[in-house]
């Protein structure tokens, strides 16, 4: 059953969709972070390893896949390289393109990360049951589709400086 959210009165954070999505993601990230830390890695390292294709991935594609800015991605790639998990190679067809490839150690860590993700998802699915899991995945996909369609520009009302009594701004 879905909760009915009324925006007439003050809304508590726990009555919003984004609160529960953020809270769930924080819990998932904490679980993955603990698993990664036990291996001497980080969740971001595992995520990067999972996003590198067999034929190598151009570094310019890796950032958008992971939702990372160039500077953060560069730091992460340097860290992976220093741990011997990746190597950078010029593309055979276009020498200006640098492809990221997994080393043997990187493939091993990628497989561990993949198994951890699969085990976690299987456990959650087992707890929820087949029908609830399918419904959750469908609902999350629909949520993602709706988020892309949200008319952000039209949704933000103009606010005069003296209209916001809760503001600490001068």
pLDDT at 5 over 80: no
pLDDT computed for residue 59 by the predictor: 87
Instruction: Give the model confidence (pLDDT) of 99-114 as tens digits.
Output: 999 999 999 999 999 9
pLDDT band with cut points at 50, 70 and 90 for residue 167: low
pLDDT at 27 over 50: yes
DSSP-derived pairing of the beta strands 86-90 and 57-58: unpaired
Q: What is the CA radius of gyration of the chain?
A: 21
pLDDT band with cut points at 50, 70 and 90 for residue 1: very low
Instruction: Find the Cα–Cα–Cα–Cα dihedral 2, 6, 144, 135, rounded to 10°.
Output: 0
Instruction: Give the model confidence (pLDDT) of 80-94 as tens digits.
Output: 999 999 999 998 888
Helix axes 104-128 and 43-50, enclosed angle (nearest 10): 100
Check if CATH label 1.10.3720.10 holds for domain 16-148: no
pLDDT computed for residue 154 by the predictor: 78
- 107 contacts 123 by C-beta, under 8 angstroms: no
pLDDT at 6 over 80: no
pLDDT computed for residue 163 by the predictor: 61
Higher pLDDT pick, 1 / 167: 167
Q: What residue ranges do the domains of the chain occupy?
A: 16-148
Distances (CA, A) of 114 to 22, 49, 88, 107: 23, 9, 22, 10
pLDDT at 3 over 90: no
pLDDT computed for residue 126 by the predictor: 98
Instruction: Find the Cα–Cα–Cα–Cα dihedral 109, 115, 116, 122, rounded to 10°.
Output: 170
Q: What is the pTM of this model?
A: 0.75
pLDDT computed for residue 159 by the predictor: 66
């Amino acid at each position: 059953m879905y909760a009915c959210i009324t925006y007439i009165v003050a809304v508590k954070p726990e009555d919003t969709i984004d609160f529960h999505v953020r809270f769930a993601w924080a819990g998932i990230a904490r679980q993955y972070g603990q698993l990664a830390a036990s291996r001497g890695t980080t969740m971001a390292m595992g995520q990067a390893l999972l996003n590198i294709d067999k034929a190598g991935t151009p570094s310019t594609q890796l950032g958008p896949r992971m939702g990372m800015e160039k500077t953060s991605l560069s730091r992460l790639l340097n860290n992976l390289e220093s741990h011997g998990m990746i190597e950078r190679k010029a593309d055979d067809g276009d020498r200006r393109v640098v492809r990221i490839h997994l080393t043997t150690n990187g493939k091993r860590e990628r497989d561990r990360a993949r198994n951890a993700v699969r085990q976690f998802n299987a456990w959650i699915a087992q707890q929820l049951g087949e029908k609830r899991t399918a419904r959750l995945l469908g609902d999350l996909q629909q949520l993602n589709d709706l988020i892309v369609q949200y008319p952000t520009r039209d949704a933000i009302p103009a606010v005069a400086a003296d209209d916001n009594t809760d503001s600490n701004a001068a």
